[in-house]
Structure 1
Amino acid sequence: MTGELAGLRVAVTRSRDRAGALADALAAAGAEPVLVPLIDFEVGDNHLLGASLNRLRAGEYAWLVISSITTVRALKQWCEAEGTVLAELVPPGTRVATIGPTSVAVLAAEGIHAELAPVDVQSAAGLVALWPGFPADDGGPDRGGNARVLLPQSNLAEPTLADGLAAKGWTPETVTAYRTVDYPADPAFRLTAALAHSRPEPGSGSYPLLTPAEAAGEVRAGAVNAVVLASGSAARRVAATLSPLPESCLVVAIGQPTRAEAERLGLRIAATAEHPTPAGIVAALAAAVQQSTPSTTGEMK
């Protein structure tokens, strides 16, 4: 796909330590990524989280649901502070579910096998659609009557998972694993745990880093051609700090929930990634560029 985004200056709304894979994928397609970190993450209430994780370790839950890669980082940071590792949190009788193949790979690198994850609709709604009713008749550990499901998540998490599991007869228990905050996070509480699945990004440190005010100026001047929204939280911050975006600035959402939140805020979405991965975002942006390119007749395609 090299060259299909040539000449496009793309704002990536992530901090440098989280933007490497996406920025590199954009650069490989010919774009010029600029980093505009708008949100960051801090640890949640470690006392409450620790109590839930100790119950998990004791085998009190039939399922553990990991609803984001940031959740994995939060749990790993708690484990590092406690002198343990993620794999030791999940006893043999507890099943693990997550929201897509990328999260499955991230968990596998940490020694955790996730046996349930949507492939097509990689979201909370997609996972709920796959979730079995309770009691399950598949020979799983929940046959004994354990309907408890642990959901460590963001303080801003929508109730989609909890409500969906409850509707299927399960007993979801939510706990705040991390808090989503405006960038930058307080250094004393920032999530810093590195995932085993992560790889060094040799080029990621060379991308320009803009403050929201600097980015807003460049957007207004037409110097930023596209903005990538990697979450609903990022959409809210873009609406608050970069709007109004000119019609020529293509906005790409990482998935349908992010698109819905962006549109609720009045942002015009040019494309939505079919899969919430760097390759999926690049493909969506390439399609948006092609759609917006004037044809030989002078009309928009």
Structure 2
Amino acid sequence: MPRPDDLGALGGRRVLITRSADRARPLASLLSSLGAEPLLLPLIDFERAADQSALDHALDALAAGAFDWLVVSSITTVRVLLEKAAERGTPPAALVPARTRVATIGPSSRQILEAVGIPVALAPVDIQSAEGLVDLWAAAPVSVLLPQADIAAPALREGLAAKGAAVTAVIAYHTVDFPARPGLRLEAELPAAVGGSTAAAPQELSPSQTRRELDGGTIDAVVAASPSAVRRIAATLLPLGSCRFVAIGRPTAAEAAALGIPVAATAKVPTPDGIAAALGSVFANEGTIR
């Protein structure tokens, strides 16, 4: 949760969230409640996997009990599972047999999975990342299904394999520049209880508007949620000028550092509260808003 001494620091701050409106709404709602002005600039989007037969075969094997574990590494993977369940005319829980345990990385994915009836047996608390899950994983010769992005780093797959798991990795979705192509975008709705506020989405900027705002020094911080978002920021938004860069998670911060983007803060947990706390820590010791 944001610390009480951090909350006032966000008053009047203009924060750019590099996600689409549906994914940004929970964070935007919290920032608004803390007196900040959230702005949106979607940089990446997600399309259904080109090889649907491979994904369908893996999910058929999952439903038949071929895997000891299903590892869900992102909310986008959850969206894929929700779409596949709807396509098959079954509840999402029917995709995962009772004998198969489920692991995930972040609290949001866990909350959504459990909201649709899929219990989560393992999830890191302190280090909510692939590294954190691998650290928790017990060495054993188990079979694992790992649906993930086409650009997923090998750390999770290799880490599980090093613990003795037989990992079947399958491409569940493609990460693309925003916007995704019509008809291919993942659009499964998250459960209302965990999808964030129903309040109106904040203002969405165009790339040219964002450039003018950055050049004018009127955006205080930009938030990136993934290494792919960092790469898009590096390709389209530099220089950031006085705008501070805030990362969600250590892999995102590491990618920013590798690309020469100074990291003002890294959210300790990938939740709206954790991000707000990171933003608050950036501005807590500064003076009045310019």
TM-score by length of 2: 0.93
Query: Would you say 1:226 and 2:221 are equivalent positions?
Result: yes
Counterpart-to-counterpart distance in 2, 1:36 and 1:230:
13
1:60 partner amino acid: A
Following superposition, the deviation at residue 105 of structure 1 comes to 1.2
Question: 1: CA distance between counterparts of 2:126 and 2:217?
Answer: 35
Deviation at 1:47, TM superposition (A): 1.3
In 1, Cα distance between the equivalents of 2:155 and 2:18?
Answer: 24
Q: 1:97 Cα deviation (Å)?
A: 0.5
Aligned partners of 2:67 and 2:100 also within 8 Å? yes
Percent identity over paired residues: 52
Mapped pair 1:120 → 2:126: yes
Structure 2 residue aligned with 1:298? none
Mapped to 2, the partners of 1:109 and 1:148 lie a distance apart of 25
Counterpart of 1:264 in structure 2 is 258
SS in 1 for 2:121: coil
Q: Deviations over 1:43-67 (max 9, x none)?
A: 1122111110000000000100000
User: What is the aligned partner in structure 2 of residue 275 from structure 1?
Assistant: 269
User: CA deviation digits over 1:88-118, x for unaligned, max 9?
Assistant: 0111111110113332211100100011000
Which residue of 2 is the match for residue 70 of structure 1? 76
2: CA distance between counterparts of 1:149 and 1:20?
32
189, 207, 211: which one pairs with 2:206?
A: 211
Could you tell me how far 1:249 is from its partner in structure 2? 1.1
Q: Partners in 2 of 1:199 and 1:96 — Cα distance?
A: 21
**Structure 1 partner of 2:150:** 155
Are residue 51 (structure 1) and residue 87 (structure 2) matched?
A: no
* Equivalent position amino acid for 2:197 in 1: E
The aligned counterpart of 1:42 is 47
1:98 and 2:104 aligned: yes
Say which SS state the counterpart of residue 284 (structure 2) adopts.
helix
Aligned equivalents of 1:198, 1:92: Cα separation in 2: 24
Structure 2 unaligned spans of 5+: none
Specify the code of the residue in structure 2 equivalent to 1:62: D
Aligned equivalents of 2:116, 2:90: Cα separation in 1: 12
- Aligned equivalent of 1:289: 283
CA deviation after TM superposition for structure 1 residue 201, in Å: 2.4
Alpha-carbon distance in 1 for matches of 2:17, 2:200: 12
**Aligned ranges for residues 177-196 of structure 1 at < 5 Å?**
177-196=172-191
CA contact (8 A) 1:232 1:262 kept: yes
State whether residues 3 and 28 of structure 1, in contact with CA within 8 Å, keep that contact through their aligned partners in structure 2: no
Match of 2:197 in 1: 201
Q: Secondary structure at the match of 1:204?
A: coil
Conserved 8 A contact 1:23-1:204: no
Q: Secondary structure at the match of 1:4?
A: helix
Separation in 2, partners of 1:178, 1:86: 18
Question: How far apart are 1:200 and its partner, in Å?
Answer: 5.7
TM-score of the superposed pair, with normalisation by structure 1? 0.90
User: Could you tell me whether the CA contact under 8 Å between 1:46 and 1:78 is conserved in 2?
Assistant: no
Which runs of 5 or more residues in structure 1 are unaligned? 136-146, 296-301
Name which of 8, 11, 15 aligns with 1:10: 15
Q: Which residue of 2 aligns with 1:142?
A: none
CA RMSD of aligned residues (A): 1.5
The answer to whether the 8 A contact 2:19-2:42 is kept is: yes
Go from structure 1 to structure 2 and tell me whether the alpha carbon gap of 1:200 and 1:281 turns closer, same or farther (over 3 Å shift): closer
Distance of 2:195 and 2:129 partners within structure 1: 24
Distance 2:270 2:8 in 1: 21
Task: Quote the Cα distance in structure 2 between the aligned partners of 1:211 and 1:85.
Answer: 38
State the one-letter code of the partner of 1:251: F
Structure 1 contact 226–252 (Cα < 8 Å) conserved: yes
**After TM superposition, which residue ranges in structure 1, 4 or more long, deviate above 6 angstroms?**
none
Alpha-carbon distance in 2 for matches of 1:133, 1:198: 33
Using a 3 Å threshold, how does the CA distance of structure 1 residues 115 and 208 change in structure 2: closer, same or farther?
A: same
Q: How much does 1:276 deviate? A: 0.6
- The structural deviation recorded for 1:290 is 2.0
Partner of 2:235: 240
